[in-house]
Structure 1
Amino acid sequence: MAYRLFEGKEHASSYWKYRISPADHLIQQLIDFLKKHSGGPYELAVDVGCGSGQGTVLLAKHFSSVVGTDVSPAQLEVALQHAKKPNVTYRQCIAEELPFADSSVDLMTAMSAFHWFDRPRFLEEAHRVLKPRGCLALLNYTIDMELSYRDCCSQALNDVCKEFYEALKPYRSPHLGANSIELYREAYNSLPYPDKEWQDSVWVKKNMPLSSYMGFIESFSSYQRFLREDPQKAGRLSQDTRQKLMSIMKVTSEDTEVEVAVKYFYLLACKPEEV
């Protein structure tokens, strides 16, 4: 079964405001894989589980048409509010039943979403809609983020962050297992495509206010569950973490910019020519 945890309006708004979108160089790796295995021009890309559309819009310059799909009306409402690319549209549907014809899609992506799907059903559906030589790209990031600030001790900052992550572990969905990267490895190993690629360490660095970093973590499903179950305790944990980080940084404002390094991994696969 698929899991639906990001459908509230407030959660959708925080998703748009705080979630980190893949860097251009990461998107380019997906496009380079597609070009290596399939000649253009490229007509249609589909971004499944698109959320509020941060990743969807990054595909726009490479395709005639890009469609973001998501199960959540609230997420798509936010995506539409920020829709500025004329060739990007959005559709509400589940990941396992996509409204596209057989062999019609050049590239299908799922950015930080595949782990929530009914994975075997989704992979079957991706095979159905991809063109021969069309490509599938599944990417996600790990919790192994690294925070740094000027001459401050990064180890001290990251020890505080790890305490925060550990406090959220009891609220992590059991569906994800101990580490969601294993779900992607399993999919990579199960795909019967001869042309596929696995990468488990692509670092993306972003500068952002400390408040945005905290908002990013607070948009995680584990924190949102904690917040629903015990709002006061979740709020205290967040505020204590902010204060500890600012104390180490010797600053008084959450608007102070920090550098956040995020480690991505991805699976790329090319559908073979049909016999």
Structure 2
Amino acid sequence: KIIGLDVSESQISEANRCNPFSNVEFKVSAAESLPVADASVDLLTACQCMHWFDIPAFLNEARRVLKLNGVLMVSRYTVPFLYTTNKESIPIINLIYDTYRSGVLQKYFNMDRLQYFDSGYAQVEFPFSDVSRRKTFMDEVVAGESCIDDVQSWSGFQILLQKEPSVAATVLADLRKNIISYFGENELSKIQLTFRREVDLVLCRK
């Protein structure tokens, strides 16, 4: 049995609506109060999200719900670095990362939380005797428009869009212009490139 959890009722409703699997269910729940019995979980995962939690409370809850020898897996991946499709490094390799780090956006990110994310949770002490940290990366060939989609998915960008919509439009326009300029195309949809994301994994056995 697999249970997916999120605090967003709308996301859980949509997940259940689209779910074709009889052994999978989705529930609304906070990470700090999981709706499962003590010592009942074989594998607990938190992907791209633990920095939003009350981390000590979540880790205590993980210890409560995991079976003996059960595993907590925490992961995060970075904003993408850009490569050509043959993996040759190109001058815009840091373009999305530079957008993420721009002063325009930084004031709208919760940096107290994102410090954990940016470090790959390096400063978090996981209360387990068996803890393994691993680094890897994942590549994905995408159309140029995915660069815009990625930026639009950021929480800080969504706040910028609400508070300063013209500035948000400029951020996207500048990113689009720089990518098109490098590839010499007139549309992002005609451009293919590789997203490379660095991935940090933390595996904890109870």
Who is 1:128 aligned against? Answer: 64
In the alignment, residue 7 of structure 2 is paired with which amino acid?
A: V
Work out whether 1:196 is the aligned partner of 2:122: no
Who is 2:106 aligned against? Answer: 169
In the alignment, residue 131 of structure 2 is paired with which amino acid?
A: K
Who is 1:211 aligned against? Answer: 145
Match of 1:265 among 176, 200, 204: 200
Higher strand share: 2
TM-score of the two chains, using structure 1 as the length reference = 0.68
Q: Percent identity between the aligned chains? A: 28
In 2, distance between residues paired with 1:163 and 1:263? Answer: 16
Check the 8 A contact 1:152/1:248 in 2, yes or no: no
Q: Calculate the aligned-residue CA RMSD, in Å.
A: 2.1
Identify unmatched segments of 5+ residues in structure 1: 1-64
Deviation readout 1:89-137 (Å, 9 max, x if unpaired): 1000111111100000000000001110000001111111111110000
Who is 1:112 aligned against? Answer: 48
In 2, distance between residues paired with 1:69 and 1:177? Answer: 21
Higher helix share: 1
- Equivalent runs, 1:180-191 vs 2, <5 Å: 180-182=117-119, 184-187=121-124, 190-191=125-126
In 2, distance between residues paired with 1:178 and 1:206? Answer: 26
Check the 8 A contact 2:81/2:94 in 1, yes or no: no
Secondary structure in 2 matching 1:158: coil
In 1, distance between residues paired with 2:100 and 2:7? Answer: 27
- Equivalent runs, 1:15-94 vs 2, <5 Å: 65-94=1-30
Shift of 1:81: 3.9
Deviation readout 1:139-179 (Å, 9 max, x if unpaired): 00123x32122589744222433432232222221322545
In 2, distance between residues paired with 1:155 and 1:258? Answer: 10
Check the 8 A contact 2:144/2:192 in 1, yes or no: yes
Count, aligned residues: 203
Work out whether 1:228 is the aligned partner of 2:165: no
Secondary structure in 1 matching 2:4: strand
Q: Which has the higher contact order (CA 8 A, sep 6+)?
A: 2
Who is 1:103 aligned against? Answer: 39
Who is 1:26 aligned against? Answer: none
**Pair 1:229–1:153, CA change in 2 (3 A):** farther
Secondary structure in 1 matching 2:122: helix
Greater Cα shift, 119-128 or 236-245? 236-245
**Pair 1:80–1:258, CA change in 2 (3 A):** farther
Check the 8 A contact 1:152/1:249 in 2, yes or no: no
Shift of 1:217: 2.1
In the alignment, residue 159 of structure 2 is paired with which amino acid?
A: R
Who is 1:42 aligned against? Answer: none
Identify unmatched segments of 5+ residues in structure 2: none
Check the 8 A contact 2:6/2:12 in 1, yes or no: yes
